[in-house]
Amino acid sequence: MLDSIYLGMTGLLGYSRGLKVIANNTANMNTPGFKGSTLQFADLFYSNGNLGSGSGGRNYGQVGYGLDTKGTTFNFRQGELRQTSNDLDAAIDGLGLFNLKDDAGNIHYTRAGQFQFNADGVLINRSDNAKVMGIDANGALAEISLSGLKTHAGAVTTTVKFSGNLSSSTTDQTVKGITVIDANGGEHSLTLNFTGVTTTTPGTPSTPGLPPTPGIPSVPNLPTTPGTTIPGFWNVVLMDGTTTVGTGTIQFQNGKPDPSTAKISMTYKAKNMAPVPLVFDFSGDVTSFAGGTLSTLAVASQDGYGPGAMSKATFDPSGNLVLTYSNGQTANAARLALSRFDSLDAVTAVGNNQFAASGTQAWQLGKAGESGFGAVRAGQIEISNVDLSQEFSDLVVMQRGYQSSSQVITTANEMLQELFSMKGK
C-alpha cells in the first residue's frame, strides 16, 4: 500500500511540472521571439516484485515505480511575422537567430529583433542594450556602428541628360532651370539657348562657296542663300545669368540627334570654384519634330547632388544595413550576422527572449539569404509560436492525470485505514 502512495506522488509531481511548463507557455503567448516547450515524461524504473509464482519469462512479475520527467524540449517552429512601426525591427523568415554580445563578452542568440542605435551610434538590443553583431569581410563577428556614416558627401555634376522634343517649327528655344552642383554642394541654375543655324551664322556647317568650319560636319545640298535656316542644325549656348559659359552645336537627322553631336562638352567655372567639365547629353529620349512653337525639351536627370544627413536606417532582405540620406542617396553599411544550430541539444534558454550555446555542439555562422539561412524582414517582428489550442488540450490532460494520481493516493490511504481498523475486530 505504501508503494502505491509513493507511485501516486510521482504522478502528482510529474503532472504539476507539466502544468508549470504549460503555464510558462501561455504566459508568454505575446512575447516576441518566444519558443514554446514541452515536458518529456518517462516511466521511472522497474524491479521484480515477486507478485506471483507463475512460470512466465524473465520479465514476469516486474513492477513499475512511477512517473519521471526528463526535462523540456523547445519547439523552434517559426512564429507569425507582424508589422511594426520601427524600421530597425527585424524578423528572420526562415532559419537563423540574431547574434547579441553582452557587456561581459558573452554571445547570446535571439529571434526577437528589436533593435535601435545608442548614443554612440552602435546598434543594440532594446531590451538589454546588448550589442547586435554583424559579420565582416573575413567572416568574423563585428559590432554595427554608424561611425562616419551619419552624413553623405555631395558629388559634382558631370553629366546632364535631356528628354523631350525640340520643336523644328521655330528657330529659338530656351531651357531654363538646369541645376548643377559644385564641389562644395552649392546649386547653380543655368540656361541653355538653342538658335537655329543659318548660312550666315558663325559656326555654320560647310556650304558651297564657304570655307569649312573645324569640328562641324560637312553637309551636302545646303541652301546657299545668306540668312537661310539650315534644317536640323542648332547652335547651343550655355548661360549663367547673363554670362556665356560655353557654346556648341547639335544636329538632328530625321528627327533624331546625330550621334556625333548628341553630346556637347563644356567647362563651367563657378565663382571661387575650380572649373568643372560638363557633358550635356541629348542621345536619349530627345527628338526634333514640328510641334508648333512649343518645345517639351527639359532636363531628365543630372548626376550631381549636395551633401545630406542620415534620415532613415533599415535592413534589406540580405541583412545589410541600408542608410538613406536627405539628399536622396542610399548606402549599404554593415551586414547582420546570423547563426543556427544543428541539434536542439546545442540550445539553452537564458531568458530575455535569448538563447545560449550549450555543450560541445557547434553553431553555424552565416548571412541572411545564403547557405540555408532565412531572409531578414525589416519593420517586422516574430511573435510567440505558442499554440493556445494545443496548450489548453495539454492542460486538460495534465489535470486529468493529476486527478487520477490523487485518486490512487486516496484509495491506497483508505485501504491502509481499512487494514489498520482490522486490529480491533
DSSP 170: -
Question: Once rounded to an integer, what is the mean pLDDT over residues 77-92?
Answer: 95
**Closest listed residue to residue 321, CA positions, set 153, 123, 102:** 123
pLDDT for position 169 = 85
Identify the top-confidence range among 239-248, 316-325, 336-345: 316-325
**Which residue did the predictor score with more confidence, 213 or 45?**
45
> With 80 as the cut, is the pLDDT of residue 360 above it?
no
Dihedral angle at the C-alpha atoms of 74, 77, 78, 79, nearest 10 degrees? Answer: -70
**Closest listed residue to residue 11, CA positions, set 39, 41, 37, 38:** 41
pLDDT for position 209 = 40
Question: Once rounded to an integer, what is the mean pLDDT over residues 385-397?
Answer: 94
**Closest listed residue to residue 234, CA positions, set 299, 190, 297:** 297
CA dist list (Å): 64 to 1, 6, 47, 112, 412: 14, 11, 7, 44, 16
CB neighbours (10 Å) of residue 10?
18
The SS3 of residue 311 is: strand
pLDDT for position 57 = 58
Write down the residue that cell numbers 512575447 correspond to.
31
- Per residue in 107-124, pLDDT (tens digit) is 999 999 999 999 999 999
Q: Per the structure block, which three cell numbers stand in for 344? A: 536542439
> With 50 as the cut, is the pLDDT of residue 211 above it?
no
Which H helix or E strand runs over 124?
Answer: strand 123-125
Question: Once rounded to an integer, what is the mean pLDDT over residues 81-107?
Answer: 95
pLDDT for position 220 = 46
Question: Once rounded to an integer, what is the mean pLDDT over residues 337-348?
Answer: 89
Question: Once rounded to an integer, what is the mean pLDDT over residues 234-242?
Answer: 93
Cα distance between residue 104 and residue 142, in whole Å: 15
> With 90 as the cut, is the pLDDT of residue 399 above it?
yes
Question: Once rounded to an integer, what is the mean pLDDT over residues 113-140?
Answer: 95
Say if residues 135 and 365 touch (Cβ distance below 8 Å).
Answer: yes
Question: Once rounded to an integer, what is the mean pLDDT over residues 123-127?
Answer: 95
Identify the top-confidence range among 1-15, 85-99, 220-234: 85-99
**Which residue did the predictor score with more confidence, 92 or 292?**
92
pLDDT category at 229 given cuts 50, 70, 90 is: low
Buried b (16+ CB within 10 A) or exposed e, 355-372: bebeeeeeeebbbbbeee
Question: Once rounded to an integer, what is the mean pLDDT over residues 201-207?
Answer: 49
Question: Once rounded to an integer, what is the mean pLDDT over residues 23-38?
Answer: 94
pLDDT category at 45 given cuts 50, 70, 90 is: confident
pLDDT for position 152 = 92
CB neighbours (10 Å) of residue 175?
20
Mean of per-residue pLDDT scores for the chain: 87
pLDDT for position 232 = 85
How big is the CA angle at 269 (ends 265 and 274), to the nearest 5 degrees? 110
> With 50 as the cut, is the pLDDT of residue 215 above it?
no
Question: Once rounded to an integer, what is the mean pLDDT over residues 31-59?
Answer: 76
Question: Once rounded to an integer, what is the mean pLDDT over residues 38-66?
Answer: 71
One-letter amino acid identity for 60? Answer: Y
**Mean pLDDT lowest among 34-43, 125-134, 211-220, 285-294:** 211-220
pLDDT for position 210 = 40
107 contacts: CB under 8 Å, gap ≥ 6: 99, 100, 101, 133, 141, 356, 357
**Mean pLDDT lowest among 125-134, 175-184, 330-339:** 175-184
